[in-house]
Amino acid sequence: MLRHNSILSRILTMPIEETKHIWMDGKFVKWEEARVPVLTHALHYGTAVFEGIRAYPALDDLLVFRLRDHVARLLESAKMYYLDHAYTSTDLQDAILELLRVNKIRTSAYIRPLIFVGYGGIGLNFTGFPIRAAIAAFPYGKYFEKPELKVCISNWRRISDESMPPQTKASGNYLNSVLAKLDALKSGYDDAILLDHRGSVSEGTGENIFVGKNGRFATPPISSSILAGITRDTVLRLAQEFEIEVVEREVSRMELYTADEVFFTGTAAEVTAIVEVDRRKVGNGQIGKITRKIRDAYSELVNGLNDRHLDWVTKVYEG
Ligand SMILES: Cc1ncc(COP(=O)(O)O)c(C=O)c1O
């Protein structure tokens, strides 16, 4: 019973520290007044696309990491699902920065823009229904409670392009991640890795994955049904600069069990070491040397301490 409770409490964590305002359809509204009708299409059919963006307090300011790239992916996801809205990339970037200022956020924060099909009737065909947008931003710390994760390989397969595009950050896609994540937590793991429809390693429930052996790393390619992560792209660039070999190629399940180092990347997860897969230790069961190096370099980068990549951070207050 105790064990069950402690597992459950882990599942129930992550309360949100609410802020004053939410941006909704072009206006700032009070947090508690940002509501939608029960018959909102997205609520029934998952017809929404979203982003997860982080901001870090640094350089006497608040820095949003790769804002333009996140908004670009949001617009691509919206296009994929015919969510015809009127917002440009600049509109959404400005709205995000203004929202952070309106809420006077100066601590580590998470930003969640969402474009969704509103209420216009019932049924799948949403032609003529309102396409709505909302952005929430709130203080946010670590996604994982631990710096080193014990994960399992889920027996749910990652959705494939044959059924719905895994490269869109569409709300409906996340039912796949939710199944894998909750099953993993209920079995006592910290998270899950999903295989693709062919049985190759795909990614985590909300993270991409890197696998290293003898100092050389591999990460599954787009064709392994991954979301093309912005953190993944950042880590690929960092690795190149450190002259660490990383190849984008199919990764087998066996490679996870015999790797020296494995880590997740994601906006929420940042760079997080995996030290156990299906109860088998990764390397010596502790964070690997290269993982630590990349994790620390990523942390410097998002905190505006890497001069080569200042174009990836946007100042909220001075900018
Ligand atoms: C399914 C999935 N894969 C990978 C990632 C990592 O992507 P990013 O680094 O852009 O946050 C995320 C998080 O957004 C995700 O939800």
CB atoms near residue 205 (< 10 Å):
26
Query: Per-residue pLDDT tens for 170-180?
Result: 999 999 999 99
Distances in Å between the Cα of 3 and the Cα atoms of 7, 12, 237 are 6, 14, 42
Predicted confidence band of residue 13 (pLDDT cuts 50, 70, 90): low
Ligand 1 atom having least distance to the Cα of 232: 9
From 65, 207, 235, 295, give the residue whose CB has the most ligand 1 atoms within 8 Å, as the site to mutate.
207
Structural domains in the chain?
2-139 (3.30.470.10), 148-302 (3.20.10.10)
Predicted confidence band of residue 274 (pLDDT cuts 50, 70, 90): very high
Give the mean pLDDT of 166-192: 98
**Does 146 participate in catalysis according to the annotation?**
no
The Å distance, Cα 3 to ligand 1 centre, comes to 30
The Å distance, Cα 113 to ligand 1 centre, comes to 14
Instruction: Spell out the alpha helix ranges (H) of the chain.
Output: 2-11, 41-45, 67-80, 89-102, 174-186, 230-242, 253-258, 289-302
217 neighbors 244 (Cβ within 8 angstroms): yes
173 neighbors 47 (Cβ within 8 angstroms): no
52 neighbors 96 (Cβ within 8 angstroms): no
From 66, 173, 267, give the residue whose CB has the most ligand 1 atoms within 8 Å, as the site to mutate.
267
Ligand 1 atom having least distance to the Cα of 177: 1
Strand partners, 28: 23
Q: Is the pLDDT of residue 9 over 80?
A: no
Give the mean pLDDT of 134-160: 97
pLDDT for position 59:
86
CA-nearest of 69, 80, 90, 140 to 115 is: 80
DSSP letter for 157, please.
P
Percent of the chain residues past pLDDT 90, beyond the cut: 94
73 neighbors 87 (Cβ within 8 angstroms): no
Q: Is the pLDDT of residue 5 over 90?
A: no
pLDDT for position 14:
72
Least confident of 4-8, 25-29, 38-42: 4-8
The Å distance, Cα 122 to ligand 1 centre, comes to 31
Residue 66 half-sphere exposure toward CB, CA atoms < 13 A: 21
